[in-house]
Copies of this chain bind each other. A is one copy, B any other.
C-alpha cells in the first residue's frame, strides 16, 4: 500500500489532516476534563476501511500534535506509518481499539482514565453497571430515557492488552449490544461511536452518567 516509512506530511489527504487535527484537539479537551491526566487514556479514529489513526502512548495527551499519530492497519494492528519523532510508540490500547472498531463498527474510540468511571464501576454488580432514570441516556444512540442501560464492567489486569480479551467478550455479549462503553474496574472506560463526533458525544454523555450514578449512589447508601 505504499505508506510504510513515508513521512505523514507528504501523503496526508485533506481528510487525514483534518482528522489528525480533530483528534489532537479532542485530547486537549479530554485533558481539561480530567479524563486523560498523567499521560493516561488515548484515542483512535478510522481513516478508511483498512487503516486508523492511533495516538502515542506514555506522553502527555494534551501535548499530542497532529503529526504524532500512527497510521495502523485495522486487521493486524501493525503501524504502517510512524510519526517523525522516533521516541513515540503506539498506544497500548491498540488491541482493544481494533476489537471495538471491528466488532462494533466504531469509527472512533476514546479511552478515559476519569475518576468518575472508576467510582461508577465500584457500584456495579454482576459484571455490569445498570444506568436508569436519566434523560441523558438519550444521548446514547438508540437509547431511550426509559431504558435500563447496561454498561459491561470487566476486571482490570496488569497490562492493557491483557484487558483486551475481557473487553472483546463484553462487546460481543448480546446483553451489552446497546452499550457504546465498557468500564474496566479501577481503571476507566472505553467509549466509542460511529465517527469522531458521536464518540465525543458519547464520551460526554457517559461521563455525565458516571458522575450522576455516583452522586445518587452515595446519597442512596446514606439515606438507606
Question: Could you tell me which A residues sit within 8 Å of B by CB distance?
Answer: 34, 37-40, 60, 113, 115, 118-119, 122, 133-136, 139, 144-146, 156, 158, 184, 186-188, 197, 200-202, 204-205, 207-208, 211-212, 215-216, 218-219, 221-223
A134:B186 contact, CB within 8 angstroms? yes
Give 9 new A-B contacts, CB below 8 A, not counting A38-B136, A135-B187: A39-B204, A40-B205, A115-B208, A115-B212, A119-B216, A134-B187, A135-B184, A144-B158, A145-B158
| Chain B residues whose CB sits within 8 angstroms of the CB of A187 once the complex forms | 134-135, 145
Contact B158 A212 (CB under 8 A): no
Is the Cβ of B223 less than 8 Å from the Cβ of A221? Answer: yes
The A interface is mostly helix, strand or loop, or mixed, namely: helix
Q: What would 16 A/B residue contacts be, using CB atoms closer than 8 Å?
A: A37-B204, A38-B201, A38-B204, A39-B204, A40-B136, A40-B205, A115-B212, A118-B134, A119-B215, A122-B216, A133-B186, A135-B156, A145-B156, A218-B218, A219-B221, A221-B223
* Residues from chain B with Cβ under 8 Å of A221 in the complex: 219, 222-223
Q: Given A115-B211, A158-B145, A218-B222, A39–B134 Cβ distance below 8 Å?
A: no
Closest-by-CB residue of B relative to A187 is: B135
B208 and A38 contact, CB distance less than 8 A: yes
Q: Which B residues lie within 8 Å of A186 (CB)?
A: 133-135, 145
When distances are taken between beta carbons in the complex, the residues of chain B under 8 Å from A158 are: 144-146
Contacts of A188 in B (CB 8 A): 135
CB distance from A160 to the nearest CB of B (A): 9
With A135-B186, A144-B158, A221-B223 as given contacts, are A212 and B118 in contact (CB-CB < 8 Å)? yes
* Chain B hits for A40, CB < 8 A: 135-136, 139, 205
> Within the assembled complex, what's the spacing in Å between the Cα atoms of A156 and B145?
9
